[in-house]
Structure 1
Amino acid sequence: MNRLKTALSIGFIIILSVLNYVSADNFNTSIKENTLIKAFNETDAELLEIDMNFTAKINDTYLDLDNLKKLSEKIINKLNIDGLKVDKNLFQEMYNNDNIANYYCEDISQSNDLIQLTIWGKDKYKRTITAIISSYKDPYDGNSETDLVIDVVQEYTKGLKKTIDEISNVYSSFNARPEITTCIIGTFNGKLKEDEKIKKVSKALYSINGRKVEGFFNDSLISISAYSPAIDEFIYTGSNKMNINIALRYNEYEDKTYIWIGTPIITIGY
């Protein structure tokens, strides 16, 4: 079903399928997320937000638009997205408004073989939620499937495990278990010197017994892939295990240095 993976707008699905994601049977989200928070706290960065991505196939059937809309209503209820549905453009204009939690919007894209319905909204805990339901049928071999991607952004570390458990329960209702990637984003005032950035990364890795696997360095960006035994899951990059990704980049417009710490990789733009 490679055509489906290409069609989806969340690119990390492709990355994880290529890198061979491995998860231990005794999966423990609290250990993984606490390890990530521990590494982040060692950098002394100011927390901006935490982004959590979930993805899984929820059935082996193709849903037409009517059934996809019915499914979206169920998912909206499960995600506790309340309020009035509004036009997407109006929703984007109101995005920073305190009352945005009272509204949500939908967008539908459709072709002969793929229907994708996207939901944007906030819940009562002010978490920003994006849900993408994609249903696909292969015109050549007759196979079909429906996938669900949920992205949750919150601006606090409290209740992180609760958030993950809640979203995982949505997938459990479809007898599915999602792949999960988590990324913590923070900032430092001003532009950090090269040795300061390296020191931040080193402290973060040392706190979780992390070992550098590979890295990329230039004047504006540092990106490090590493492996920590504190986290059960890992992916392969070449023949090496990795489950931590750390990046730092300076934003000249804001005069801030951003840091991203993700597991197993950073799946959002930086």
Structure 2
Amino acid sequence: MKFILVLFAILLIYFSVNFVKSADHEELYKMAEAIENKKYTVKEWSIYSRQSMGEAKSEKEFYNQTNKIRKKKAGYKWSSIEDVNHHLKLVGVYEDKKENFVHRIIITGVYNYDSYEIEVANEVKSYQWNHKDINTVLSKTDYPVSKEFSFYSIKGEVDERNIGRGKLVKKAKGLMDSLDAVEIESLVEEDFVSLSGLSTKWENSINLDGNKKMNLQIAMRFNPKNDRLNVTVGTPIVTTEY
């Protein structure tokens, strides 16, 4: 199984992202429309974002500041982690079984000599889909989508048989075409393909080497054991397993 190194990748690209702030989740709707038009069933969607909260001069001050967030988040389960580099991390998780979503808040104190740089990451992941779900879920979590930049991902699946490498690539490229994107990079294996591209459907993008930009990633994996084709689409990158 292939995984994106989510935290590492985001830390590397976060400061080079040229986003247009979006409160209407246009990217997510367009990605969902594209995969539904290709007869995939949407199984999961997610939004990830992060922002700076300033700094704390000590560990005590870090927890004093983060306690303000904790007090506003009733019903969240919190755990504290200290990693080997003396960074501080506080994780809050809220699970809504009725609406079938999970909200994670990750507050990190990045040790910088005599202080901690505080960053707050939010991830909402929902396991059901319709156009009304997004605002329903985000209103319940008080998600700060209007205050920061967001990474969107969506997953779908469809039953397929006898898909070889060539057909898998064709399907991925067809989905990229439907999102008005030009292919920038690709990785192709026997039952897996990943394409990166630049779409004209939205303006956000990240910078790559050689003055290239991308704002779309498509990953497809065929499972011959159950004849199922799984697709994950993300902008500007995929931030979940695929």
Task: Please tell me the TM-score bracket, short chain as reference.
Answer: 0.7 to 0.9
Partner of 1:61: 56
- 1:11-53 superposed Cα distances (whole Å, 9 cap, x missing partner): 34224237x21113x6454332222222222321121100211
Instruction: State the Cα deviation string for residues 45-99 of structure 1 (Å, max 9, x = none).
Output: 121100211111122225537426623423524xxxx3xxxxxxxxxxxxxxxxx
Deviation string, structure 1 residues 149-168 (Cα, Å, up to 9, x no partner) = 11111121323552686499
Higher strand share: 2
170 and 46 in structure 1: CA distance in 2 versus 1, 3 angstrom threshold: closer
Matched, 1:131 2:75: no
Does residue 74 (structure 1) correspond to residue 75 (structure 2)? The answer is: no
| Residue 198 (1) aligns with residue 169 (2) | yes
Q: Secondary structure at the match of 2:73?
A: helix
Report the Cα offset of residue 266 of structure 1. 0.8
Opposite residue 178 of structure 1, the aligned amino acid is E
State the Cα distance separating 1:182 from its structure 2 match.
Answer: 0.9
TM norm structure 1: 0.73
Q: 2:13, 2:23 → 1: CA distance?
A: 19
Aligned pair count? 231
Question: 2:122 corresponds to which residue?
Answer: 150
Task: Report percent identity of matched pairs.
Answer: 17
Indicate conservation of the 8 Å contact 1:42/1:203, yes or no: no
Where in structure 1 are there 5+ consecutive unaligned residues?
A: 1-7, 83-103
Q: What letter corresponds to residue 50 of structure 2 in structure 1?
A: T
Q: Distance in 1 between matches of 2:63 and 2:233?
A: 40
Distance 1:183 1:75 in 2: 27
> Cα deviation per residue 1:204-259 (whole Å; 9 max; x = unaligned)?
22223211112111112100011111111011222222111001112355542211
1:16 corresponds, among 13, 17, 33, to 13
SS at match of 2:25: helix
Q: Is the 8 A contact 1:42 1:200 kept in 2?
A: no
Q: Is 2:36 the counterpart of 1:41?
A: yes
When residues 254 and 56 of structure 1 are mapped into structure 2, their CA distance, relative to the original with a 3 A threshold, is farther
Cα 1:252–1:74 shift into 2, 3 Å? farther
Match of 1:105 in 2: 77
Measured after TM superposition, the shift of residue 138 of structure 1 is 1.4
Amino acid at match of 1:132: I
CA distance in 1, matches of 2:174, 2:6: 34
Does the 8 Å CA contact 1:42/1:204 hold for their aligned counterparts?
A: no
**CA pair 256-107 structure 1, distance change in 2 beyond 3 A:** farther
Distance 1:210 1:163, change over 3 A: farther
Q: Which moved more, 1:205-214 or 1:163-172?
A: 163-172
Residue 90 of structure 2: which of 117, 127, 148 is its match? 117
Kindly report the root-mean-square deviation, in angstroms, between the aligned alpha carbons of the 2 structures: 3.1
- With over 3 angstroms needed to count, the CA separation of the structure-2 counterparts of 1:136 and 1:236, relative to structure 1, is closer
- Counterpart of 2:187 in structure 1 is 216
Gaps of 5+ in 2: none
Matched residues in 1 for 2:79 and 2:175: separation? 39
SS at structure 2 position matched to 1:22: coil
C-alpha contact 1:186 1:260 (8 A) present in aligned 2? yes
Q: 1:187 aligns with which of 157, 161, 180?
A: 157
Residues 181-212 of structure 1 show CA distances to partners (whole Å, capped at 9, x for unaligned) of 11111112255333432333233222232111
Asked if the contact 1:31–1:230 (Cα under 8 Å) also holds between the matched residues in 2, the reply is no
